A = this chain, B = another copy of it.
């Protein structure tokens, strides 16, 4: 192995306590204490090293502690760079804007304004939802089955998951539900259903302010919309005077190969939300992109203390310079995605109920039930692989390896996964 961990002996810290809230979840499945991490590996306090196919739920697309990003951060800290800048002008913010404009927007001939919302994905979605309501004077927003957009009250209304929805304990309002691509199988075009629902003036489907769409639904179970469907949806939105928001918080930042998940679809969303892997190194950051004509905000109308997280701006700019100055990463994702896909495809042949889902390096294996997927995840963890499940029933084993995972490590992880799937398939059949 080529991973060099600087240290597995961190400074002494006290034993864990028992007072963290019951709301904790991942740590219930991955029952160890992690200390350090590098690339696609995490190291536990007992010294054990794990391959990480969770990658912070796609917030660590470039792996843990990329050395160049770490150096960049060290340098910034070294000269006492501003850490928190609210929305003051800071060199860090300006550097990010400049880099994003030159390396991301310009090469794609895109023209967007940038808003830094509070540094979480949900906050970016909340901002986008406000903005489309303001711009259109309409209150309803169309969200899709299986969508996940966050759990603050506004974005939660758009999230499909009933476990999260039930947490609100007040009705979730001003969101209409439409069906994602393939929800009713291949023979029913759900974009057409939506168009017809919105076209009939007595349907009860009010004209919406926007459609809020993930092109690939991560939490929903690696549901990848087809190019044709996404293009249809974009047209239906325009036809009915609704803006198109692409929530690229999980699918963007290269997870599907291109920087934005929709690039190969030939659409230009009116608004885009980004977060998760933006900072490259796991620091909280989010971004709302809007076409200039929709930048109708008043000063400070949406705000938040941490919207100027300058350390994140600095590493985000460096991330773009390092990974998005050429097509290497996109090629890597294509190749590695293919590797993952082939493995999953082989596993899917084990039984007719299995199915490969997703796109790019945003792939999963539907194993039919949450119980089986959970058992596979558990077995993987015992064998040194961190991998999670998603989908309506938790039935999809989700491969979210860092995009930068060396092919060798990727193969190691996939081997562990294959063993686990095979073992569980045997055990339960």
Asked if A45 is an interface residue, CB under 8 A from chain B, the answer is yes
Q: Mark A144-181, 1 if CB is under 8 A from B, else 0.
A: 11110011111101111111111111111111110100
Asked if A391 is an interface residue, CB under 8 A from chain B, the answer is yes
Asked if A269 is an interface residue, CB under 8 A from chain B, the answer is no
How far is A159 from B205 in the complex, measured between Cα atoms in Å? 10
A154 / chain B contacts, CB cutoff of 8 Å: 152-154
Asked if A15 is an interface residue, CB under 8 A from chain B, the answer is yes
How far is A212 from B36 in the complex, measured between Cα atoms in Å? 38
Closest to A13 in B: B95
Asked if A409 is an interface residue, CB under 8 A from chain B, the answer is no
Asked if A120 is an interface residue, CB under 8 A from chain B, the answer is yes
**Contact flag A170-B171 (CB < 8 Å), given A21-B115, A220-B202, A281-B83:** yes
How far is A299 from B394 in the complex, measured between Cα atoms in Å? 14
Asked if A78 is an interface residue, CB under 8 A from chain B, the answer is yes
Q: Mark A1-32, 1 if CB is under 8 A from B, else 0.
A: 00001111111011111011111111110111
**Contact flag A86-B130 (CB < 8 Å), given A95-B13, A204-B165:** no
Closest to A220 in B: B202
Asked if A422 is an interface residue, CB under 8 A from chain B, the answer is no
Asked if A84 is an interface residue, CB under 8 A from chain B, the answer is yes
Asked if A300 is an interface residue, CB under 8 A from chain B, the answer is yes
Cβ-neighbour of A282 out of B22, B83, B98 (below 8 A): B83
A345 / chain B contacts, CB cutoff of 8 Å: none
Closest to A309 in B: B284
Is A84 a contact partner of B65 (Cβ separation < 8 A)? no
Cβ-neighbour of A176 out of B74, B112, B177, B306 (below 8 A): B177
In the assembly, how many copies of this chain are there? 4
A283 / chain B contacts, CB cutoff of 8 Å: 83-84, 283, 309, 311
Closest to A312 in B: B284
Cβ-neighbour of A17 out of B101, B155, B158, B300 (below 8 A): B101
Q: Mark A65-90, 1 if CB is under 8 A from B, else 0.
A: 10000100111111111111111111
Cβ-neighbour of A120 out of B123, B207, B310 (below 8 A): B123
Q: For residue A313, give the distance in angstroms from its CB to the closest CB of chain B.
A: 10
A27 / chain B contacts, CB cutoff of 8 Å: 87-89
How far is A311 from B65 in the complex, measured between Cα atoms in Å? 12
Q: For residue A182, give the distance in angstroms from its CB to the closest CB of chain B.
A: 12
Closest to A281 in B: B83
Asked if A348 is an interface residue, CB under 8 A from chain B, the answer is no
Is B206 a contact partner of A162 (Cβ separation < 8 A)? yes
Is B70 a contact partner of A77 (Cβ separation < 8 A)? yes
A304 / chain B contacts, CB cutoff of 8 Å: 120-122, 150-151
Is A153 a contact partner of B165 (Cβ separation < 8 A)? no
Asked if A242 is an interface residue, CB under 8 A from chain B, the answer is no
A-B contact pairs, 19 of them (CB 8 A): A7-B80, A10-B81, A13-B98, A14-B99, A15-B98, A16-B89, A20-B113, A20-B115, A26-B88, A28-B299, A30-B88, A37-B80, A83-B283, A119-B306, A133-B169, A152-B155, A160-B203, A164-B302, A171-B171
